[in-house]
Structure 1
Amino acid sequence: MRRKHSLSLAEQIEQVRRIGESRMLPLIAVGCGVACALGFVLYHWIDNKTPGFFTLLVAALFLSTVCGIVSLAVLANFPRFQRIARATRSGRRVRGDIQITVDSSDPENARIRGCMMEGGAVWDLEFTRPLGWEPRSGEWPCELVFLADVRLPVMVQLADGLLFTSDRTQRVYGRRV
């Protein structure tokens, strides 16, 4: 089996910034939303006397569906990448050691969890799929990065790469690592 190319920490930061600070992605989302609406208008405008009626109906529905999915995917993920890009430049950084557990029972969807002490509380972290590298289980030195306007930590920076927290991350009081 061929190994994936692993990005360095600097390359990961550059890639996250390129995505999160992009001006094109919001325009793509708006353009796809407009194309989706036009596809539905075209679908309702076509009647059975139009030449190529069935082909046009299928094309209109296909255009609307694909553009709608692309638009929703960009709108759902772009704000998270904006926060992560901001966190690579600024934010409060808490140094510590994180205990990472990688559950690879499903190779397509490895589950990555982490646990880290911060003050009197423990962060029970769940991460999304990393960008350009694969973490290993174990205890690692890291920086937990917080932004002022976000309640949860945005990312964890390790020596080998970045891990992005998911919405399932939570702060647990009174539990030790």
Structure 2
Amino acid sequence: MSQSKSTKMPSADLSLDQQIAYLRKFGEDWPLRIVAVVSALIATACAYAFSQSEHVQLNVLLLFVAGISGLLAVAISIQLPEWQRAARATRVGRRVQSSLKLIVDRSDSDNVVISGEANEGRVVWHLQFSNPIGWAPESGEWPCKMVMLSDEPVPALIELEHGLLIPTRRSRRTENLQK
């Protein structure tokens, strides 16, 4: 495999095994689903109380709690399917050796964009990743294992030496006609 072109190694707060355990815990078990449901119920209750209350300070508090709870429920609902398929991939996925050209754009410190390109034969995967769990990847070319699920259109997981990357649904594949 090719060596990294970056001189800086990724920093890992959690080992690869710890990251897999964390992913399985939240992707296969119920805690996030329960948090999303409870947050949605709190948002609904606060919105209803807001509509019934005439007290100005209480309305501000209710609206604030409803907004935060609603955003939390939506954020979990968006991320949970990706975590579920990645957790399933840790157990039953088909692993394909590849090399990942990783680009980490930290120009906006609040919104780090992680993308990359990996090859599987004539197929080129253009991958967008969610924020990783327990480590900070660096740009460069890294050996990896793409973990594929038979019923999914994109890799469910990218496993690097230092950590896991979870592709989002914005990832896509193209055919490389030059090979």
Unmatched segments (≥5 aa) in structure 1: 48-52
TM-score, normalised with respect to structure 2: 0.83
Residue in structure 1 matched with residue 176 of structure 2 by the alignment: 174
Which residue identity does 1:145 align to in structure 2? V
Residue in structure 2 matched with residue 145 of structure 1 by the alignment: 147
Residue in structure 1 matched with residue 52 of structure 2 by the alignment: 45
Contact 1:156 1:164 in 2 (8 A): yes
Residue in structure 1 matched with residue 4 of structure 2 by the alignment: none
Residue in structure 2 matched with residue 158 of structure 1 by the alignment: 160
* CA distance in 2 between partners of 1:5 and 1:91 (Å): 24
CA RMSD, Structure 1 to Structure 2 (Å): 2.1
How far 1:176 moved relative to its partner? 5.9
Larger Rg: 1
How far 1:175 moved relative to its partner? 5.3
Write out aligned runs for 1:15-164 (5 A).
15-47=22-54, 53-164=55-166
1:98-150 alpha-carbon deviations (Å, 9 max, x no partner): 22233344444443332222122211222222211122333322110111222
Residue aligned with 1:13, SS? helix
* CA distance in 1 between partners of 2:65 and 2:43 (Å): 7
* CA distance in 1 between partners of 2:104 and 2:42 (Å): 40
Unmatched segments (≥5 aa) in structure 2: 1-10
Residue in structure 1 matched with residue 6 of structure 2 by the alignment: none
Contact 1:122 1:176 in 2 (8 A): no
* CA distance in 1 between partners of 2:33 and 2:154 (Å): 24
Contact 2:12 2:134 in 1 (8 A): yes
112-121 or 143-152, which deviates more:
112-121
Residue aligned with 1:150, SS? coil
Structure 1's consecutive aligned runs of 4 or more residues displaced over 6 angstroms after TM superposition are none
Per the alignment, do residues 46 and 30 of structure 1 end up closer, same or farther by CA in structure 2, a change over 3 Å counting? Answer: same
TM-score, normalised with respect to structure 1: 0.84
* Percent sequence identity over aligned pairs: 37
Higher RCO (C-alpha 8 Å, min separation 6): 2
* CA distance in 2 between partners of 1:73 and 1:90 (Å): 26
Which residue identity does 1:23 align to in structure 2? W
How far 1:10 moved relative to its partner? 0.7
Which residue identity does 1:30 align to in structure 2? V
Contact 2:125 2:172 in 1 (8 A): yes
